[in-house]
Amino acid sequence: MSPKTTFRNGSILSPEGFVTDHVLTIAGDRIASLEASKSASAGEAIDLDGGYLLPGFIDTQVNGGGGVLFNDDTSFEAIAAIGAAHRQYGTTGFLPTLISDELEVIDAAMRAVEQAIEDGAPGVLGIHIEGPFINEARKGTHDPAKFRTLTDQSLKLLSGLKHGKTLVTLAPETTTSGDIRTLTQAGVIVAAGHTDASYGRMAQAFNEGVTGITHLFNAMSPFTHRAPGVVGAALENQSIYCGLIIDGRHVDPVALKIAVRCRPHDRFMIVTDAMPTVGSQTKTFMLQDKLIRVEDGVCVGPDGTLAGSDLDMATAVKNAVEMVGLTLDEAAVMASAAPARFLGLDAQYGVLNAGARADLVWLDRDLNLKGVWIGGEQSLSQKAAA
């Protein structure tokens, strides 16, 4: 029988909201129970000291961390290093993300993710392939020399991950309805990003199987009063999932506040779009021959173009509360339950239910990170033993 660990004396985020008179018990890599109780059961006891226990954060857009950029090193070791860097900030599930590159690099990245999942690298849920099937008009920091259109060869490649989830970000206006349907029928999750699509093309893309928007507002046709664009289509739609980079720089807090008033909170996902600087003392790196440096908390290229972020999930969740005005339970859903549902993993991830994975984040009363557990294993903790 697996040893049990209990968590008590805090606010625990149940599927119905925070409960303060409950004890959560984990056994092995699973949650055994969440029950009303005045005393902890046998086993190790974690005193939450009036803080908060949340489902572990799930980040669907992680380009790098710990000094490692996935595009530069598509290996098992690189994925493990990126995951370790982000776990210290509460990320217990993530998609290593590859920005626009050659098909050979995409293939190598997919094989590395398969190995990572086979070998049990903590937190690896699949892969996010962001480009190269995107629009140069909204390229951001992506290299246009890498861009291409979908072909039978690339469709077969994108549909070929043996383990885990595949998320592909593409520009719908550069593809056909048949392309999108081919991907979704193969089990690929398709998001729109780096796109200059019209409102009409986006509405059509949703019908074709697009279920997500990659970093809403950034690198896409904006909302205007005569041309609602991708942003207008996304804000009108009540069921797709929209990623948000909540660092106060990628999107102005006012725009974020307006966005979250337009749609259900559980259809937004907090993402970091993190670069190698997260979890590293080095705040510069090379991105496809361009020197990227962190300035005022964001990664920028030589021409001032944003190039991902220096953001971690724990900070993003805190920003969602303090900068956007969300409640902690709303922010937590956007950081865990929503991405889990987007990826089709909500039966086991993103929720504190009996039978779910024991992926947990402990925040103190000021929303500072105190502890992280992934699959029941303590990854970071400043626990107070009972």
Q: For residue 39, name the pLDDT band (cuts at 50, 70, 90).
A: low
Peptide bond into 222 cis (omega under 30): no
Lowest-confidence segment of 39-53, 249-263, 300-314, 329-343 by average pLDDT: 39-53
Q: 10 and 367 in contact (C-beta within 8 Å)? A: no
Fold of 57-342: TIM Barrel (3.20.20)
* Annotated binding-site positions for substrate: 141, 218-219, 226, 250, 306-308
- Is 273 known to be catalytic? yes
Please compute the mean of the pLDDT values over residues 260-284 and round it to a whole number. 97
Element (H, E) at 87: helix 76-87
pLDDT digits (tens, 9 = 90+) for 177-207: 899 999 999 999 999 999 999 999 999 999 9
* Annotated binding-site positions for Zn(2+): 130, 194, 215
pLDDT digits (tens, 9 = 90+) for 221-240: 999 999 999 999 999 999 99
pLDDT digits (tens, 9 = 90+) for 124-137: 999 999 999 999 99
CA–CA distances in Å: residue 6 to residues 3, 40, 335, 362: 10, 6, 23, 13
* Annotated binding-site positions: 130, 141, 194, 215, 218-219, 226, 250, 306-308
Q: Where are the domains of the chain?
A: 4-54+351-385, 57-342
* Domains 4-54+351-385 and 57-342 belong to one CATH topology: no
Fold of 4-54+351-385: Urease, subunit C; domain 1 (2.30.40)
Catalytic residue among 273, 310, 329, 359: 273
Tokens (6 digits) for 7: 């968590």
Say yes or no to pLDDT of 160 above 60. Answer: yes
Give residue 347's pLDDT.
Answer: 94
